[in-house]
Structure formats: structure tokens, C-alpha cells
Amino acid sequence: MAGVSQIPPTPSSKPRRLTAAAGLAALEGLALAACGLVLLVLALTGHSDNVRNAVVGALTVLALGAIPLAAAYGLLHARRWSRGPALIIQLLALPVAWTLVHGAAALVAAGVALALMALAGLVLLVHPATTAALGIGDRGQA
């Protein structure tokens, strides 16, 4: 365990990239939660042919929103485990963005914004300052 610090960085030593990655993850989590709530309200107010499937879909989207929110919390507190879920969410956002860009004209802007956020998140999460702040990649170094 030589050379590996288990103490999370203080706010003054935490890189801005880590805070920015946490902010992006939180924004994505809040967006998913908002979409899930809208879908749930639409399902429960009779805007769906199959209420049961619509409610299950809405609850699934709400549950998926918890993943980036948990990752954002972990990133903000420099927890090593948080990088994996954050990376997965960014990677999953890319095909969704591609689908939006190639969908209806009204969704193109949302697809472009999602793609830019996902790419920015990936860059922030793999940056050496971020990985160092999370204590990733320093195993075995003396």
C-alpha cells in the first residue's frame, strides 16, 4: 500500500475537472429523473394506451437517473468507485444522442447537446488529473 493515499483530496486540491465531471453527471441524472417523472405523470393521467407498461417504463427511467446522480456524488467526494458508473453513462448516452440526431427535426438539438455532454464527460473522466484525484492508476508505484 506504499504510495497509495486513501484520503480524498481537499476541496482546494480537487481538480476542477473532477468537479465538472460531477456536475455533468448530476445534470444527466436530473434530466433522466425529470423525464421519468413526466412519463409517470403522462401514464397516470391517461395519456397512454397501456398504463402498466408506461408506468414500468417511467419507473425504469427514474431508476436509471439514480445511477448518474450516485456517480456525481462519488465524483464530488473523490470516491474511486464513481468513475466506472460515470463512464458507462457517458458511453450509453452516445447511441441515444445518435438516435436523437437522426430522428425528428425537433430532437436534433437535444441529440447534439447530449452528444457534446457525453464527449465532454468522457474527456473529463479519463483526464490524468481526474484519475490521479480518484487514486486510479497509482497502484504499484513506490
User: In this structure, is residue 8 part of a structural domain?
Assistant: no
pTM listed for this prediction: 0.81
Write down the mean pLDDT value for the chain: 88
Domain count, the chain: 1
How far apart CA 26 and CA 66 sit, in angstroms, is 9
**pLDDT digits 0-9 by tens, 2-15:** 454 555 555 556 78
User: In this structure, is residue 140 part of a structural domain?
Assistant: no
**pLDDT digits 0-9 by tens, 26-80:** 999 999 999 999 999 999 998 888 889 999 999 999 999 999 999 999 999 999 9
Confidence at residue 116, expressed as pLDDT on a 0 to 100 scale? 96
User: In this structure, is residue 121 part of a structural domain?
Assistant: yes
The contacts of residue 134 (CB under 8 Å, 6+ apart) are 18, 75, 78, 79, 80, 82, 83
User: In this structure, is residue 7 part of a structural domain?
Assistant: no
C-alpha cell at 13: 486540491
**pLDDT digits 0-9 by tens, 131-140:** 999 988 765 4
**pLDDT digits 0-9 by tens, 12-41:** 567 899 999 999 999 999 999 999 999 999
